[in-house]
Structure 1
Amino acid sequence: MARRSFCETSEAIHNLANKYREDFKLPSLKLPFNNRQGFYFSIPQKSIQGRLPNKFIQVIKHGNNIHCSSVELASLNVRNKSATKECYIRTEVCLEELMDVIRQDVSVLTLLSEVLCLLDMVVNSFAHMISTKPVDRYIRPQFTCDGPLAIDSGRHPILESIHTDFIPNNIFLSEASNMGIVMGPNMSGKSTYLQQVCLIVIVAQIGCYVPARFANLRVFDRIFTRMGTADCLEYNCSTFMTEMKETAFIVQNISERSLVVMDELGRATSSSDGFAMAWSCCEHLLALKAYTIFATHMENLSELATLYPNVKILHFHVEVKNNRMDFKFQLKDGKCHVPHYGLMLAGVAGLPSSVIETAKRITSTITLKKTKRAEVNCQQNNDLQMIYRVVQRLICLKYSNQNEDSLRESLQNLKECYIGGRV
């Protein structure tokens, strides 16, 4: 009602001004407004012939203009001010109710504004970086609904701007090979690789070009990470308890369309319990068919590949020269055993040689016992691995852009390789 009254009185005031222009032959009559008087009439002196009509009251000379009002205008001004005041009161009530609702979630809104600011900064930074880099350094990623995660020569978006000699690496995960277990010594590049994959996926899904030679991604609904070794004193949580809480959150909220990245799960407790927990989590994630990258120092986890053909074992290549490790930062297929790499790093860190020699003797004894219990993969597992490799190639062909003749030729080559046992 108040808003309607305001609109009606405002319209009546303008209609009154139009009426006075016609009745008194004052086409140059204007209708200014100020907060003290409200609406009033302003008439140039040169347009007034003789005396001003008696209708006009409160006549004041102001420069070359005459300011005045009328009884009708004064009445309309009173009604208009009353309606305006009522509108302000009702608006203030609505705003107070809205503020009461918003005040409950002000922390969330503050966080949202910070996230949007950060996102704006990141997108602008990427736009600037892409525009200043050579054309072949960043590419536009391709997306599929259920296809593989395939990145050729991917690079860390941040570290490559710091290190000009950054080594690119690949990743391929599909329905036939949905888990990659990444192994390698300390400082070989495992954690950097995990961060690199996550950042490329995030950058791609916010609509930016990615640092790679080629990138084909499925659209992930969530990205779960379990990285770092920090405890939480505020909540009385040890490092292992923090690991378990984060892992529990992942297991409870994961879906088939999620990406899971775990860095050395189970290292914060005893070796037997940590290995058991890591193995169990891997099996659970395999059953959910989510794409998973799992970095670990536990070499026995590579035995998962003997039971589950959709597990792919990867390692970061390291060369040992004169009891020193030369990190190549290159990801390769299969597992690679670098003996006593922890002891070599301990020597570089300055640990006394007597302590290291004792540790070597103990390690040799433990390794000998493990070797006696080791089992060789059976032929059935090798056949199963070959079948999964065939399925993996078929999935690649399914999402390829080849024409029918090329697909037919690729399928024939795959058939010949399978018969010859060369897949």
Structure 2
Amino acid sequence: MLRSNIIQPSSQVESTLLPRYDALEELTMKEDMFFEIRKALKGFADVEKLLTSSGVHGLLDIARQTYKEATEDVYQHVDELSKEHELVIEVKFDHRRKFWLRLEGNEFEDRQLPDVFINKITRSRWIECQTLMLVQLNNRITDSHNEAVMLSENIIQQLLDDIRGYVPELFRVCEGIALLDMVASFTQSATTRDYVRPEISDTLALKNARHPICERVNPERFVPNDAYAGEQHRFQIITGCNMSGKSTYIRMVALMQVMAQIGSFVPAEYASFPLFQQLFVRISTDDNIEANMSTFSLEMREMAFILRNVNNKSLAIIDELGRGTSSRDGLAIALAISEALIQSNSIVWFATHFEEITKILGSRPGVLNLHLETDVSSSSETRARMTMLYKIKSGPVQERSYGINLARAMGFPESFIEVAQGVSQTLADTMEGQKDASESRWLIRQRKMILNLTSILSQLIKSEMDDATMGSYLRHLQDEFVQKMDDNAVY
């Protein structure tokens, strides 16, 4: 029941989610009812185990007893051999030979292996063998095992034949018991872990939300966070340093959405969720060797599926898209996919290291920039100290060169850090120079176009064209000038 609900969460509010919330809330308020239900559920045993337990079928009990006695005889026979021949004998088992014996070869440097041992095989310092009695016991064990399996299958098949006409009723009973067990489990989690009842609305709003798994692993250090998404903030860009908690934050949102839509309470002080028909998650970075697909190709295949199916009833969680290829191509693809996701009107959390995305899309309607806070300070050993605060804040990340700072905090040699900083500064200066040069060229082209326009207008003053022709030409001139300005603009 729990597995099927997680795979396909419900979107039926009145008929499914609200009744489950009500039942859960009632169980959390009435401890006596909760404990009685848990006690009653313990009485439901596995039907197959119950049917094949002792006392159900006489011949099955005999086969089991024969199997047990033959197995005990094997170890008794080995003990007798060890005492009789003064040997250390190990009992081994495999599916081909069944039980067999292993002896150390150096025990027979000054004497012969007793004739009672047959089927001898020498492997390095070991001698593997059996005895005639052991072979007979193996046959008894195999026969009794096969008979027990056959009788068990016959009993179960007979039961299935007897109850086949009552399957619909039994299915409803089993489904009801499974649902009760699931709700009782939700109650256990809600009461012991301080979960709250979520509200169903048009807005996703979380106050002091906690990752349901991470808080169990490290309850004392886990930092709660807020989350909000609605019509005004449908596309949220999450930036931050490595290990700052970006992936944990966006996964927390997805997990809590699933918990709410299966009827569970959620780990937060307040929670409100809209209903989604689809949840898309792109977070894995593993290669698929069996399918001969690299990290990037697998990423692109999954994103292609998401883009084909995403709509305004979807929640999408995207983690560091485009990092499996070159930075230029990765940025271009991440931007293009971001544009498509924004146009789909879906709710998206988009974690990335591409700072350019925050600048290009930051002014778009519905886009919100957020970052995970990090405190960077220098210790007395001239080594940077990075403290991950794991707290979500507004705006893009402001810390520069956090990758280099993290490398320094991890103890990389200072000579390596200096080289990395030099290269980083050179690249930054080059990009800034290119930007300045581009802006200078744009200003020169702008001046030329304005001068040309001034010259043309001056000539038109002396023109003898009639008003209609003059108006038409001026409109054409205006459109042409605006188009040229747009084509040569620097953004």
TM-score, normalised to structure 2, is 0.50
Tell me if structure 2 keeps the 8 A contact 1:316–1:329.
Answer: yes
**Residue matched to 1:288:** 344
Question: Is 1:252 aligned to 2:313, yes or no?
Answer: no
Question: Is 1:158 aligned to 2:219, yes or no?
Answer: no
RMSD: 3.0
Q: CA deviation at 1:177?
A: 1.5
**Residue matched to 1:143:** 200
Tell me if structure 2 keeps the 8 A contact 1:304–1:311.
Answer: no
Pick closer, same or farther for the CA change 1:150–1:264 going to 2, 3 Å: same
Which of the residues 339, 354, 362 maps onto 2:415?
Answer: 354
Q: CA deviation at 1:193?
A: 0.4
Amino acid at match of 1:151: L
Matches within 5 A, 1:211-230: 211-230=267-286
Deviations 1:226-278 (A, max 9, x none): 00210000000000011101111111111211000000000010000000010
Query: In structure 2, what is the Cα distance between the partners aligned to 1:194 and 1:120?
Result: 31
Pick closer, same or farther for the CA change 1:325–1:349 going to 2, 3 Å: closer
Amino acid at match of 2:224: P
Amino acid at match of 2:357: L
**Residue matched to 2:190:** 130
Query: In structure 1, what is the Cα distance between the partners aligned to 2:235 and 2:278?
Result: 16
Deviations 1:394-420 (A, max 9, x none): xxxxxxxxxxxxxxxxxxxxxxxxxxx
Pick closer, same or farther for the CA change 1:203–1:313 going to 2, 3 Å: same
**Residue matched to 1:329:** 390
Deviations 1:331-388 (A, max 9, x none): 0000132121111222333433222211110101112233453899xxxxxxxxxxxx
Deviations 1:109-154 (A, max 9, x none): xxxxxxx99x999765442121224xxx32111112xx12111111
Mean CA deviation greater in 274-283 or 318-327: 318-327
Which of the residues 310, 314, 333 maps onto 2:370?
Answer: 314
Question: Is 1:238 aligned to 2:294, yes or no?
Answer: yes
**Residue matched to 2:477:** none
**Residue matched to 2:85:** none
Which of the residues 403, 417, 422 maps onto 1:342?
Answer: 403
Which of the residues 330, 342, 365 maps onto 2:426?
Answer: 365
Structure 2 unaligned residues grouped into runs of 5+: 1-159, 165-176, 379-383, 440-491
Amino acid at match of 1:359: A
Which of the residues 255, 258, 262 maps onto 1:206?
Answer: 262
Query: In structure 1, what is the Cα distance between the partners aligned to 2:242 and 2:181?
Result: 33
Q: CA deviation at 1:187?
A: 0.5
Pick closer, same or farther for the CA change 1:353–1:122 going to 2, 3 Å: farther
Deviations 1:72-128 (A, max 9, x none): xxxxxxxxxxxxxxxxxxx98xx9xxxxxxxxxxxxxxxxxxxx99x9997654421
Pick closer, same or farther for the CA change 1:359–1:125 going to 2, 3 Å: farther
Query: In structure 1, what is the Cα distance between the partners aligned to 2:352 and 2:344?
Result: 20
TM-score, normalised to structure 1, is 0.57
Q: Secondary structure at the match of 2:312?
A: coil
Q: CA deviation at 1:159?
A: 1.3
Pick closer, same or farther for the CA change 1:315–1:121 going to 2, 3 Å: farther
Query: In structure 2, what is the Cα distance between the partners aligned to 1:351 and 1:199?
Result: 36
Query: In structure 1, what is the Cα distance between the partners aligned to 2:347 and 2:192?
Result: 33
Pick closer, same or farther for the CA change 1:190–1:121 going to 2, 3 Å: farther
Pick closer, same or farther for the CA change 1:160–1:173 going to 2, 3 Å: same
Query: In structure 2, what is the Cα distance between the partners aligned to 1:306 and 1:215?
Result: 27
